[in-house]
Amino acid sequence: MPWTRSSSCHVILATLLAISAGGQSESAAHNGPLARILDRMDQVAEDFHTTEADFVWEQYTKVVNDIDTQKGKIYFRRAGKEIQMAADVTQPDQKYVLFTNGKVQVYQPRTGQLNSYDASKNRAELESFLVLGFGGGGHSMLKSFDVKYLGSEKLDAVETVKLDLVPKSEKARNTFPHIELWVDTTRGIALQQQLFQPGGDYRMTRYSGIVMNRKLPDSIFKLKDQR
């Protein structure tokens, strides 16, 4: 079945609902460039309060050789012991995605459709997945993934380290067999993520205009019709 813009909601939810567990042996990450970037990510995670960024989501569907592109703004914040996420999709159609209090909600203003999913049983795993390379710790990834160092690469003149992550959780592997992260060596956050799906499909996310630890209004973490 060809990819449609309406079905992109399901990929957003699949990203949020993929569960991760497992990782590379600790001894393999104590030395060299992998250890250095994981240490830097740990430092950033210790001071993490909020993140906001512009994003471009690209969903590639191999069977029709098509790329569906969405653009918007994404926000993360730590609220007590909880990580919250809000995404405002502005192109090509408005869509709001919210993860708070263990619940995933997707609202489409054009149709008035609201989908809500209770993810409270897996909240900790979801939060860990949400902040993967984006405010989440480096060495904490080793509890969830086999992590490999793939070398350095420049993205828009920014030096990054490229990492390959394979979930140990069979459930997560069935959704995303592996994930690649491009982590800014200075700021310790991911500038790009590529989530590979079975059958040759993939989802690419690019971040720009990243701002860390600026106070965000509570209204951001409510659906538009509730603000």
pLDDT at 41: 92
Render pLDDT for 149-171 as a digit per residue (tens, 0 to 9). Answer: 999 999 989 999 999 999 888 88
pLDDT band, residue 176 (cuts 50/70/90):
confident
Predicted confidence at residue 84, as pLDDT, reads 87
Task: State pTM to two decimals.
Answer: 0.81
Q: What is the mean pLDDT of the chain?
A: 82
Task: Return the top range by mean pLDDT from 17-26, 115-124, 169-178, 205-214.
Answer: 205-214
The per-residue pLDDT for range 41-54, each reduced to its tens digit, is 999 988 889 999 99
Over residues 108-154, the pLDDT tens digits come to 888 888 988 887 776 666 666 666 777 778 888 888 889 999 999 99
* Predicted confidence band of residue 208 (pLDDT cuts 50, 70, 90): very high
In whole angstroms, what is the distance from residue 124 CA to residue 142 CA?
A: 15
pLDDT for residue 123: 65
Q: Which residue has the higher pLDDT, 43 or 17?
A: 43
Domains and CATH numbers, the chain: 8-212 (2.50.20.10)
More confident residue, 103 or 69: 69
Is the predicted pLDDT of residue 200 greater than 50, yes or no? yes
